[in-house]
Structure 1
Amino acid sequence: MTVAPIRAEQIGEEMEPVLAQTTGFFRERPVARGLAGAFSALWVHRMDHQAVPPIVITPDATIDLQWIDGRFRIAGPDKEPQIERPSSGAVIVGFRFRPGAAAGWLGVPASEIVGERLDLGVLWGTRARALSDRIKAVPDLDVMVRQLEETVGMHTQGRDALDPLMGRAFDAIDEGLPPETPLVPFLQRHLHMSERTLRRRFESAFGYGPKTLDRILRFHRFRRLRGKAGDASTAVLAIEAGYADQAHLIRESRRLTGITPSALT
């Protein structure tokens, strides 16, 4: 499956892609207990057997370990929308890292994998092959998922992958700061860190700085609010999510997804 960054103006014009979770079959659930120290969720995305349109992957402040085409790969944190072109009938199984846990589990800072889709072997060499070799091809998807969960769990149990302070920082930003609160000074007080240390820790844990994380999480906060609010005014929801106004929301939506909020499903 190929992946490439995409300019916002391309979306909806020559390629006619769709948002990732609007095509095929997608389900998500919490991971088994043995994986919970590093991962928050396990998801399965199975493409239709007819022609699959290009799909848009939008930045969501997450990093995933994925099983696809018989191998493990890492989907690094994105700062802009990307296009992937999965084959018909492709099945992707993903393990979503908990905020701040990917760097510890992978052994590399998230800043080194921003926007990347990397075979795990690029980072781990023969260790990745040993992990992949434990997975046997079976026709039953549920059996395959159990194999993957057990194999990833063997590598996860007993390993301290979390960065608790960065988890706290993520939660604070995700909840939304009080209006007119400067982000970086707030985080410095909240985490008792100098600005230099704060930025270094963010780069390692998330792949980018506090302001980029805030932009991405604010947009997803708007999407959560809209999902619960039914027919509520977009302008009102934009303010509630933390935008200056509806125009600010529209600019950010185009920047992060390539389309306007009204076109999102």
Structure 2
Amino acid sequence: MMEPVLAQTTGFFRERPVTRGLAGAFSVVWVHRLDDHATPPIIITPDATIDLQWIDGRLRIAGPDKEPQVERPPAGAVIVGFRFRPGAAAGWLGVPASEIVGGRLDLGELWGTRARELSDRIKSAPNLIAMVRQLEEAIGMQTEGRETLDPLMGRAFDVVDEGLPPETPLVPFLQRHLHMSERTLRRRFENAFGYGPKTLDRILRFHRFRRLREKAGDASTAVLAVEAGYADQSHLIRESRRLAGVTPSALAGGAP
């Protein structure tokens, strides 16, 4: 039995910014082509994102996740993903993000015949580049001219992602920054991101550590943990196990 591996450590993975027609709702388009031989189970770690994915000739919605997910795609599978901008998925999909937390949903479950009509526009293509171009054009037709982004929630995401000053209580800070009551703040976060401010902060702090680790190379994990916003290295290790299922050192090695 093969051990699970982290998603981007197997096969071919690339991403780039989306074309202008998609930029109102999406940030990047990515391609993950799995190896032709037997593929191990893949661990997807929560990253506070929601993706529209083309896989096996259909469109599905992935995320937002609160805990690690394990997927078992077939060998040689090709997945094309369009990552929603923070605060845009609910407006584009027409459902609150809280209703799709942890989900891997066929777009037809949300859109019905409208999703089938969108999928029917995608024909067989001679190569992957042509396939991505078709997807961009079809999804762009559903995106151009629509106001799907919640700018205030996009700004809130950036504030949390950057990290608050040390010892700053998260919710009161956001209430002051966004001029919202606590109830409104939580409702808006759950609609836009699928969960409240504290969960979003936990997930983004973990990925802040991962970004720091990539840039810093051999820097001390304890130092990076504090720089990312953790109380100490033990705090980081607990969160890494909760969000990735592995320790930070195992995560850096690309396997559990």
Q: TM-score range by the shorter chain?
A: over 0.9
The aligned length equals 252
In structure 1, C-alpha distance between the alignment counterparts of 2:112 and 2:218, rounded to whole Å: 51
- Structure 1 residue 139 displacement after superposition: 3.4
Residue identity in the other structure for 2:79: I
Instruction: Specify the SS of the correspondent of 1:21.
Output: helix
Instruction: Specify the SS of the correspondent of 2:208.
Output: helix
Task: Give the equivalent residue in structure 2 for 1:83.
Answer: 70
Task: Give the equivalent residue in structure 1 for 2:120.
Answer: 133
- Structure 1 residue 18 displacement after superposition: 0.1
The ranges of structure 1 where at least 4 consecutive aligned residues each deviate by more than 4 angstroms after the TM superposition are: none
In structure 1, C-alpha distance between the alignment counterparts of 2:154 and 2:105, rounded to whole Å: 24
**What value does the CA root-mean-square deviation take over the aligned residues?**
0.8
- Correspondence 1:177-188 to 2 at 5 A: 177-188=164-175
**Alignment equivalent of 1:257, drawn from 230, 236, 244:** 244
In structure 1, C-alpha distance between the alignment counterparts of 2:177 and 2:59, rounded to whole Å: 36
Instruction: Specify the SS of the correspondent of 1:96.
Output: strand
Instruction: Specify the SS of the correspondent of 1:156.
Output: coil
- 1:132-161: CA deviation from partner (whole Å, max 9, x where unpaired): 000001230000000000100011000000
Task: Give the equivalent residue in structure 2 for 1:244.
Answer: 231
* Percent identity for Structure 1 against Structure 2: 86
- 1:168-208: CA deviation from partner (whole Å, max 9, x where unpaired): 11000000000000000000000000000000000100000
**Alignment equivalent of 2:103, drawn from 91, 109, 116:** 116
Instruction: Specify the SS of the correspondent of 1:72.
Output: strand
- 1:13-48: CA deviation from partner (whole Å, max 9, x where unpaired): x76100000000000000001100100000000000
Task: Give the equivalent residue in structure 1 for 2:215.
Answer: 228
Task: Give the equivalent residue in structure 2 for 1:105.
Answer: 92
In structure 2, C-alpha distance between the alignment counterparts of 1:141 and 1:224, rounded to whole Å: 29
**Alignment equivalent of 1:35, drawn from 22, 25, 38:** 22
Task: Give the equivalent residue in structure 2 for 1:21.
Answer: 8
Instruction: Specify the SS of the correspondent of 1:37.
Output: coil
- Correspondence 1:45-56 to 2 at 5 A: 45-56=32-43
In structure 2, the CA distance between the partners of 1:246 and 1:62, relative to structure 1 (3 Å rule), is: same
Instruction: Specify the SS of the correspondent of 1:131.
Output: helix
- Structure 1 residue 54 displacement after superposition: 0.2
In structure 2, C-alpha distance between the alignment counterparts of 1:67 and 1:152, rounded to whole Å: 11
- 1:93-122: CA deviation from partner (whole Å, max 9, x where unpaired): 000000000000000000000000000000
Q: Specify every segment of 5 or more residues in structure 1 that has no aligned partner in the other structure, as ranges.
A: 1-13
TM-score, reference length from structure 2: 0.97
- Correspondence 1:129-208 to 2 at 5 A: 129-208=116-195
**Alignment equivalent of 2:55, drawn from 39, 48, 68:** 68
Instruction: Specify the SS of the correspondent of 1:250.
Output: helix
Task: Give the equivalent residue in structure 1 for 2:44.
Answer: 57
Task: Give the equivalent residue in structure 2 for 1:11.
Answer: none
- 1:24-83: CA deviation from partner (whole Å, max 9, x where unpaired): 000000000110010000000000000000000000000000000000000020000010
Residue identity in the other structure for 1:198: L
Instruction: Specify the SS of the correspondent of 1:40.
Output: strand
24-33 or 133-142, which deviates more? 133-142
Residue identity in the other structure for 1:133: D
In structure 2, C-alpha distance between the alignment counterparts of 1:76 and 1:159, rounded to whole Å: 22
TM-score, reference length from structure 1: 0.94
- 1:225-247: CA deviation from partner (whole Å, max 9, x where unpaired): 11111211000000000000000
Instruction: Specify the SS of the correspondent of 1:243.
Output: coil
